[in-house]
């Protein structure tokens, strides 16, 4: 190892060569190995030692079921390296995935627009540079203007991707809905192709865990929309046009459905990720 290279993790796992020199290997099988991940490379140690510089990874994905062997494993990461595709799974796989995201993203610069949307209202924020740091809990962004923007991975609601011109270049823009000071905001991220694919996989995985399919009445959805727009829970009855008792009953149901969380006993509530997702879907219908 060089003086600047640092070990991130050393664990046990398996790998499967799904594509070699452009050819899909339908008879490939998992090989038990030791996995060593550093700030510069991924090393797989089995009967032979295989090393892959992180700079050689073109794309990281979440599934590539080349055969039944690969389909039978629920969690693995897919590494696209030129015309080769490698699947890797670790004993503590979620922890390994986070370590891989850290290796790929920590200290890297990305373009950030924050807040692009706040309380459902489009803002005039411009694009600025941000330095990334990945933790178990969040994607931390240190912006050039001094702002610190944490995107909690358990707090990601809606997530979308679009190709746009940013700073004179066509880039993939990742639009992430989360909260800031209990208000729903969107932060937009744009980077090079590799950083965009890593962020997409990491954030999609987090958003998928938070997805909700709630059967709500029109009044319940109006309550959620009021909270999403920044209306105080105390002002919801007059804003929506319902009684205080009816509002309390709806709050009880939404708490039970985990669409809102209780902040003070039966008086103050805030939307959860599930609730914000419902609101986001409703906004999209309008």
**pLDDT tens per residue, range 238-249:** 888 899 999 999
Report the pLDDT value the prediction gives residue 286, as an integer from 0 to 100.
Answer: 62
**pLDDT tens-digit readout, 28-44:** 999 999 999 999 999 99
**pLDDT tens-digit readout, 247-264:** 999 998 888 887 888 775
Report the pLDDT value the prediction gives residue 211, as an integer from 0 to 100.
Answer: 67
Report the pLDDT value the prediction gives residue 1, as an integer from 0 to 100.
Answer: 64
Give mean pLDDT, residues 63-85. Answer: 92
Report the pLDDT value the prediction gives residue 39, as an integer from 0 to 100.
Answer: 92
Could you say which of 3.30.390.30, 1.10.10.10, 3.90.550.10, 3.30.530.20 is the CATH number of the domain covering 218-285?
A: 1.10.10.10
CATH architecture of 109-209: Roll (2.30)
Fold of 7-91: PH-domain like (2.30.29)
**pLDDT tens-digit readout, 196-223:** 889 998 998 888 776 656 678 888 888 8
Report the pLDDT value the prediction gives residue 178, as an integer from 0 to 100.
Answer: 92
Give mean pLDDT, residues 158-177. Answer: 91
Q: Hey, do 7-91 and 109-209 end up sharing a CATH topology, with the first three levels equal?
A: yes
Report the pLDDT value the prediction gives residue 258, as an integer from 0 to 100.
Answer: 78
Report the pLDDT value the prediction gives residue 269, as an integer from 0 to 100.
Answer: 73
Q: Which residue would you say has higher pLDDT here, 135 or 286?
A: 135
266: pLDDT strictly greater than 60 = no
pLDDT interval class at 132 (50, 70, 90): very high
Q: What percent of the chain has pLDDT over 70?
A: 93
Highest mean pLDDT among 147-151, 159-163, 211-215: 147-151
- CA 173 to chain centroid, in Å, comes to 13
93: pLDDT strictly greater than 80 = yes
Give mean pLDDT, residues 46-67. Answer: 91
Report the pLDDT value the prediction gives residue 264, as an integer from 0 to 100.
Answer: 59
Average pLDDT, the chain: 88
pLDDT interval class at 158 (50, 70, 90): confident
Domain ranges of the chain: 7-91, 109-209, 218-285
Report the pLDDT value the prediction gives residue 212, as an integer from 0 to 100.
Answer: 59
């Amino acid at each position: 190892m060089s003086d600047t290279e640092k070990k991130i993790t050393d664990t046990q796992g398996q790998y499967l060569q799904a594509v070699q020199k452009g050819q899909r290997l339908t008879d490939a099988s998992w090989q038990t190995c030791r996995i060593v991940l550093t700030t510069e490379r991924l090393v797989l140690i089995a009967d032979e030692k295989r090393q892959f510089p992180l700079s050689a990874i073109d794309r990281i994905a979440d599934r590539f079921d080349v055969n039944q062997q690969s389909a039978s494993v629920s969690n693995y990461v897919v590494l696209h390296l030129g015309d080769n595709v490698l699947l890797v799974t670790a004993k503590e796989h979620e922890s390994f995935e986070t370590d891989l995201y850290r290796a790929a993203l920590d200290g890297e610069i990305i373009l950030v627009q924050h807040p692009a949307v706040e309380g459902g209202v489009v803002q005039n924020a411009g694009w600025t540079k941000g330095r990334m740091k990945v933790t178990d809990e969040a994607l931390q962004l240190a912006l050039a203007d001094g702002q610190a923007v944490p995107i909690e991975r358990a707090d990601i609601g809606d997530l979308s991707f679009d190709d746009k011109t940013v700073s004179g270049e066509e880039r993939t823009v990742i639009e992430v809905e989360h909260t800031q000071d209990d208000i729903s905001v969107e932060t937009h991220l744009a980077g090079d192709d590799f950083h965009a694919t890593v962020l997409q996989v990491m954030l999609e995985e987090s958003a998928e865990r938070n997805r909700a399919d709630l059967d709500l009445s029109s009044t319940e959805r109006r309550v959620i929309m009021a909270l999403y727009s920044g209306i105080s829970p105390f002002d919801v009855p007059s804003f929506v046009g319902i009684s205080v008792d009816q509002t309390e009953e709806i709050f009880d149901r939404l708490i039970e459905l985990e669409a809102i969380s209780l902040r003070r006993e039966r008086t103050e509530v805030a939307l959860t990720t599930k609730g914000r997702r419902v609101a986001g879907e409703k906004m999209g219908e309008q």
